[in-house]
Amino acid sequence: MSGGTTAGTTDADDANLLGLGYVYNLSKRTALYGNYARLANKGASRLAVGGYPSNSSTTLPAAFLGGQTSSGAEVGLRHSF
């Protein structure tokens, strides 16, 4: 049997994701924001923050070789008109 949970154990090919975000309002219509995400692969799991084109002919980043971590961050200024 493959995938999912078997007899109280979980698959070894899994991943943990941590995501944090914050918004600071400068005024009624303007805000600063920031986000951070970290994904830790287990076993042969090949996931990454932001994804990766499956049909790419380039060399895969380390996060796609299994058991690696991937992280990403963004900051920005939002203004509503």
DSSP 13: S
The yes-or-no verdict on residue 63 having pLDDT over 80 is no
The yes-or-no verdict on residue 77 having pLDDT over 80 is yes
Distance CA 21, CA 72 (A): 12
Integer distance in angstroms from the first to the last C-alpha of the chain? 55
**What average pLDDT is seen over the chain?**
80
The yes-or-no verdict on residue 10 having pLDDT over 80 is no
Q: What is the pTM of this model?
A: 0.66
